[in-house]
Amino acid sequence: MTDSRTYAIVGCGMMGREHMRNLALVPEAELVAIVDPHGPSRDAAAELAGKLGQSFACYETVEDMMPSARPDAVIVAAPNHTHFAIAQQLMGHEVALLLEKPMCTTVEDAGKLAALAADYDPLFWVGLEYRYMPPVTRFVERVQAGETGPVRMLSIREHRFPFLTKVGDWNRFSANTGGTLVEKCCHFFDLMRHILQDEPVRIFASGGQDVNHLDEVYDGKPSDILDNAYVIVDFAGGARATLDLCMFAEGAEQQEEIYALGDVGKLDVRIPAAEIIWSPRDGAGVRSEPVDTPPEALAAGDHHGATWFQLLRFHKALVEGGSPDVSAIDGLRSVEMGAAAHQSIETGLPVALDFSG
């Protein structure tokens, strides 16, 4: 059997075009179709295809595309609030799915989609790709090998630029995104669970919209997207995790920093420095490990090579009939944690979680 598989992309905005560039780097992956109702986005994708040497058909809807293109797999990179409906449409065609984060914008929809995915035979994979940044992957390997001792404290910091401009400014409203702590921070809640291999039991958060988009009004509605937050997460095994998010920190030297601390020592990883720092408690001295990422992967997107490494893993699972690295349950949990953090901000109270069932 050949390892070649065909792909379609639904949503040809910034993330959809990043997937185009990365698919061009995946051996045996052929992009045969794109879907987007927005003409300028289709035009931008077609222009990029010319530079990449890709050739595909363009469609306005999933229902127009599926009968003629018949791809083996579809990457959904459409706006967040369309994920639930588009995923269900595609599942009706029994096609493999890579569904971009967040899986859905509400806990209710994410739960329904996870239930559907439980009985879905084709590959169903949620695009929580931060796991695949090579420095983060190496950091997780070292933590899970026990280098720090059992992790008692885990800290994730993202200090970055504001939300970018999207078609129709859909990302300026929590109703469309799920809220910042779902839209953006589902990545970090997934990383917490992935690193600790444990489930959260309680979340407490404080956050607000204090700097960005304050004067932006669309069709009479002001933007309501949070631009900073602190989130504390207690895990069942006793570890504590924190998220420190600021989206008016364009001048920060490092965009992401992750720290894990145990009774043996501390590990931290920094992006884009791509360096892991080991600080043992025994006084043996601080040591650093640089982690390389192929330059072509860095150039193909804005996620430090993660999109390419995720696609390599997805394609391998597609060819071999393997299970997803990032399941619908992982996608659901990341939405549940983000929604709980928003609830905590709104009420000023901690939110208890029970995923034992």
Q: In a structure prediction context, what are the per-residue pLDDT tens digits for the chain, which is 357 residues long? A: 589 999 999 999 999 999 999 999 999 999 999 999 999 999 999 999 999 999 999 999 999 999 999 999 999 999 999 999 999 999 999 999 999 999 999 999 999 999 999 999 999 999 999 999 999 999 999 999 999 999 999 999 999 999 999 999 999 999 999 999 999 999 999 999 999 999 999 999 999 999 999 999 999 999 999 999 999 999 999 999 999 999 999 999 999 999 999 999 999 999 999 999 999 999 999 999 999 999 999 999 999 999 999 999 999 999 999 999 999 999 999 999 999 999 999 999 999 999 976
| pLDDT the model gives residue 128 | 98
| Cα separation, 100 vs 80, whole angstroms | 8
- Determine contact, residues 334/304, Cβ cutoff 8 Å: no
- Determine contact, residues 29/5, Cβ cutoff 8 Å: yes
| pLDDT the model gives residue 2 | 85
| pLDDT the model gives residue 26 | 96
| pLDDT the model gives residue 357 | 66
| pLDDT the model gives residue 317 | 98
- Determine contact, residues 29/315, Cβ cutoff 8 Å: yes
pTM over 0.85: yes
**What is 5-128's CATH topology?**
Rossmann fold (3.40.50)
Q: Which residues contact 97 (CB under 8 A, 6 or more apart)?
A: 73, 74, 76, 87, 90, 91, 122, 123, 124, 125
What pairs with residue 32 in β-bridges?
none
**What is 130-294+327-352's CATH topology?**
Dihydrodipicolinate Reductase; domain 2 (3.30.360)
Nearest alpha-carbon partner for 125 in 81, 95, 89 = 95
What pairs with residue 353 in β-bridges?
none
Domain extents for the chain? 5-128, 130-294+327-352
| pLDDT the model gives residue 138 | 98
| Terminal-residue alpha carbon distance, the chain | 40
| Cα separation, 269 vs 258, whole angstroms | 5
In 119-204, where does DSSP find H-type helix?
A: 134-144, 174-177, 180-183, 186-196
